[in-house]
């Protein structure tokens, strides 16, 4: 049974999972929203790596950096030069403060050395309409969601954010290929359990998940959607989560310290 517990940027659902019995029957489906919240929401009543334990990642999905056609740049390098020429004059949309799209935008700003104004919308649809309508100049969104708008010429794709080119937009270079070395920002999903869940249960769940996500039909289905499986042991996923927390903490500190 799936129980959706939305609200407070995933804090409510995460807290409920953390307080659940550690018996293997209540799990948390989570994403990089939770790792970013470790810095974004200091008043939360849980610590992710203290109150929950890593089971396994599920998959990761690439994002794409797009601009409105009126922006006079044809590629990512040109956009960075253009943005540097008018600091604070360009803006970018996201589906809200602290979302993976917002964090990807702040990471891009930091690594590119540019000053863009963040415009948070209530949801991805409104943010997408903002860049399509020209109210904002740039947006980072899911590849599959934005691909139809790219093909229709409503936005211009500058780069995708994964390590390899996306099968959904194969002609669009990665950020790395486009000239910004070391940048990577994806949306990933994973599972955690309440702290204290017995290790044999964690290992059994991990093994079952890794079998399921590597089924050929699942791999193909996800590939068509711009996603790829992430196969790890519980220990590897634990390390991945801790590194992700550090990564986003550094990004949050930079934009939080900005006057």
pLDDT value at residue 258: 58
Residue 9: band (very low, low, confident or very high) from pLDDT cuts 50, 70, 90: low
How far is CA 48 from each of CA 52, 76, 104, rounded to the nearest angstrom? 6, 35, 21
Upper half-sphere CA count for residue 143 (Cβ side, 13 Å): 30
Give 154's pLDDT tier (boundaries 50, 70, 90).
Answer: very high
Cα Rg, the chain, nearest whole Å? 19
Q: Which letter does DSSP use for residue 107 in this model?
A: H
> Hey, where are the domains in the chain?
8-58+187-257, 61-160
Whether residue 259 has pLDDT greater than 50: no
pLDDT of residue 96: 86
Buried b (16+ CB within 10 A) or exposed e, 56-79: bbbbbbbbbbbbbeebebeebeeb
DSSP at 189: E
Domain 61-160 belongs in CATH node 3.40.190.10:
yes
Secondary structure element (H or E) that encloses residue 64, with its range: strand 52-67
Backbone angles phi, psi at 93, to 5 degrees: -100, 150
The reply to whether 61-160 shares the fold of 8-58+187-257 is yes
pLDDT digits (tens, 9 = 90+) for 194-252: 999 999 999 999 999 999 999 999 999 998 888 999 999 999 999 999 999 999 998 88
Backbone angles phi, psi at 205, to 5 degrees: -65, -45
CATH number (3.40.190.150, 3.30.390.10, 3.40.30.10, 3.40.50.720) of 8-58+187-257 reads 3.40.190.150
Mean pLDDT within 11-20: 88
User: Does position 4 have pLDDT exceeding 70, yes or no?
Assistant: no
CB contact at 8 A, 71 and 137? yes
Classify 114 as helix, strand or coil: coil
Percent of the chain as helix, strand, coil, to the nearest 5: 45, 20, 35
121 DSSP 8-state letter: -
What is the reported pLDDT for 13? 81
Quick check: 7 pLDDT over 80?
Answer: no
pLDDT in tens, 24-57: 999 999 999 899 999 988 888 899 999 999 999 9
> What pLDDT, in 10s, does the model give residues 102-138?
999 999 999 999 999 999 998 889 999 999 999 999 9
Q: Which pLDDT does position 3 carry in this prediction?
A: 59
By C-alpha distance, which of 177, 201, 188 is closest to 53?
Answer: 201
Residue 6: what pLDDT? 43
The rounded distance, in Å, linking the Cα atoms of 100 and 33 is 6
pLDDT digits (tens, 9 = 90+) for 50-97: 999 999 999 999 999 999 999 999 999 999 999 999 999 999 999 888
Q: Which residue has the tokens 């093909």?
A: 151
Whole-angstrom distance, CA of residue 220 vs CA of residue 63: 18
Q: Which of 9-13, 87-91, 127-131, 170-174 is predicted least confidently?
A: 9-13
- Whether the CB-CB separation of 120 and 40 falls below 8 Å is answered with no
């Amino acid at each position: 049974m799936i129980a959706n517990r939305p609200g407070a940027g995933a804090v409510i659902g995460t807290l409920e999972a953390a307080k659940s019995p550690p018996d293997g029957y209540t799990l948390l489906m989570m994403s990089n929203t939770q790792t970013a919240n470790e810095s974004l929401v200091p008043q939360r009543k849980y610590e992710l790596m203290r109150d929950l334990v890593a089971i396994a990642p599920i998959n990761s999905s690439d994002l794409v950096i797009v601009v409105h056609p009126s922006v006079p740049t044809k590629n990512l390098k040109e956009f960075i030069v253009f943005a540097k020429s008018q600091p604070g004059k360009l803006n970018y949309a996201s589906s809200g403060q602290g979302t993976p799209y917002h964090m990807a935008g702040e990471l891009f700003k930091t690594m590119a050395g540019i000053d863009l104004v963040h415009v948070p919308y209530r949801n991805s649809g409104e943010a997408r309409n903002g860049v399509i309508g020209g109210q904002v100049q740039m947006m980072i969104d899911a590849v599959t969601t934005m691909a139809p708008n790219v093909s229709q010429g409503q936005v211009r794709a500058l780069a995708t954010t994964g390590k390899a080119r996306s099968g959904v937009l194969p002609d669009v270079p990665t950020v790395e290929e486009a000239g910004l070395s070391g940048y990577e920002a994806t949306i990933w999903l994973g599972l955690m359990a309440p702290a204290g869940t017995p290790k044999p249960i964690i290992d059994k769940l991990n093994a079952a998940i890794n079998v399921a996500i590597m089924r050929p039909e699942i791999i193909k289905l996800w590939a068509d959607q711009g996603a790829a499986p992430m196969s790890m042991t519980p220990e590897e996923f634990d390390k991945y989560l801790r590194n992700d927390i550090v990564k986003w903490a550094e990004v949050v500190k930079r934009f939080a310290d900005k006057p």
